[in-house]
């Protein structure tokens, strides 16, 4: 899924450390916890789908904040050329030393 099996890759490291049991199936939300109170500016999935429909977007490319410029900037520009829109997903996880620190708000 990362395009490499190199154990030095942080994503591969995380997967290898998780053990050999993976579960799949439908997801049901029991509680949103601190969300949306902590991040009121972020839309829920149903809200993003409604926004896409309102804008007439049928193809939407996912992206993330440019943590590895200029790579993510380039990929986002390409996606903007071939898709109706780009969703910048505010995913945050363990950062590397050269990553741009995300900000909220």
Q: d(Cα 102, Cα 105) in Å, to the nearest integer? A: 10
Residues found in the chain: 105
Residues facing residue 86 across a β-bridge: 61
What is the separation of C-alpha 58 from the centre of its chain, rounded to a whole number of angstroms?
A: 19
| Residue where the block lists tokens 């939407």 | 60
Q: What are phi and psi of 83, to 5 degrees?
A: -120, 165
pLDDT at 94: 65
Compute, in degrees rounded to 10, the torsion defined by CA atoms 34, 38, 39, 44.
20
Does residue 52 carry a pLDDT above 80? yes
Name the residue ranges covered by the structural domains of the chain.
26-105
Residues facing residue 60 across a β-bridge: 85
Does residue 28 carry a pLDDT above 80? yes
**Mean pLDDT of all residues belonging to the chain:** 80
- Name the percent of the chain lying above pLDDT 90: 20
Name the token pair of 8.
């030095």
Neighbours of 63 (CB within 10 A): 17
């Amino acid at each position: 899924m990362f395009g490499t099996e190199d154990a030095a890759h942080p994503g591969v490291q995380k997967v290898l450390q998780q053990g050999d049991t993976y579960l799949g199936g439908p997801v049901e939300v029991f509680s949103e916890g601190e969300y949306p109170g902590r991040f009121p500016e972020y839309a829920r999935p149903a809200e993003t789908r409604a926004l896409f429909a309102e804008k007439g977007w049928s193809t939407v490319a996912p992206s993330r904040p440019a943590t590895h410029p200029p790579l993510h900037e380039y990929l986002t520009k390409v996606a903007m050329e071939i898709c109706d829109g780009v969703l910048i997903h505010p995913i945050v996880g363990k950062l590397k030393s050269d990553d741009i620190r995300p900000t909220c708000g």
